[in-house]
Amino acid sequence: MADPLEHIINRSDTWRGMDTGGNVFAMRSSANSDWHGVDALPTGFAELNRQIALGGWPLRGGIEVLGNDNDAHSMGLFLPTMIALSEQKRWQAFIAPPHIPYAPLLNARGVATEQILMVHPGDREERLWATEQALRSTTCSVVFSWLGTGEYRYAELRKLQLAAAENDTLAILFRSGNAVGQHTPFSLRLGIGPHRTVDIIKQRGGKPSSRIALPPEEDLDNKPQPWQLPGEVIRTRTGQILTPVA
């Protein structure tokens, strides 16, 4: 049976970071992953690990991040995870990202840009479809999906949560802060606060926690963020990833 991701990779609005010589599923190796069979991944921040019930990002429950839909700064929270997951040699999928990452800086941070897969669906239904397909695939280590500011039925979100629970793909969905009053099936809901703080709004098996500070020594916040540089969007030398010109 074809991998669900095949339908996404073959789309004209999808960009991938590596030419696999015609075999776009050469990265299929989740069963051999160091993370296979575990329930959580370390966040890269000691205090955040202590406050999350599982001790890290839940692999099978999904994470919902509430805030400004166009605020790329919140991606800094997941940079240590992207670095760690680069060891798996599987795709890191970005569905409808509001910003384009800057490949040279991601490389400098230790993120394997040849594993970046970017999908630009046209509307709400395509966002849901692409997110579900990427989550059901065994060839993605993480799926970042920006669902936009619209409302989503619980059943629609539940379908994504079940897809995330099928394997060891980390699911991270960004939604508007206006969704805080809506029920969610995801096991961890976060809010990005001011001055590099994180709020745990809801978590399965644990208590909420407000204003968790991320110490500067545990982050590279004083350096340019890989997704915030201005400039024109072009292809790299290989023609396989979108890159803004600094």
Looking at domain 5-16+34-244, its CATH superfamily turns out to be P-loop containing nucleotide triphosphate hydrolases (3.40.50.300)
CA–CA gap between residue 86 and residue 200 (Å, rounded):
26
- What are the C-alpha distances in Å from 159 to residues 147, 170, 186, 244? 14, 15, 10, 34
Q: Quote the pTM value.
A: 0.79
β-pair type (57-58, 40-41): antiparallel
**38 vs 23, residue with greater confidence:** 38
Task: Please compute the mean of the pLDDT values over residues 136-159 and round it to a whole number.
Answer: 91
For residue 240, the model assigns a pLDDT of: 38
Task: Please compute the mean of the pLDDT values over residues 83-90 and round it to a whole number.
Answer: 90
For residue 157, the model assigns a pLDDT of: 95
Q: How confident is the model over 184-198, as pLDDT tens digits?
A: 999 999 998 877 789
- Sequence-distant (6+) residues with CB within 8 A of 128 are 147, 152, 156, 159, 160
Q: Is the pLDDT of residue 81 over 90?
A: yes
For residue 17, the model assigns a pLDDT of: 66
- What are the C-alpha distances in Å from 85 to residues 19, 235, 244? 20, 24, 23
Q: How confident is the model over 26-74, as pLDDT tens digits?
A: 444 444 444 455 688 999 999 999 999 999 999 888 999 998 755 566 7
Q: How confident is the model over 87-146, as pLDDT tens digits?
A: 988 999 999 988 877 788 888 888 888 889 999 888 899 999 999 999 998 889 999 999
Q: Is the pLDDT of residue 213 over 90?
A: no
Q: How confident is the model over 225-246, as pLDDT tens digits?
A: 555 443 433 333 333 334 433 3
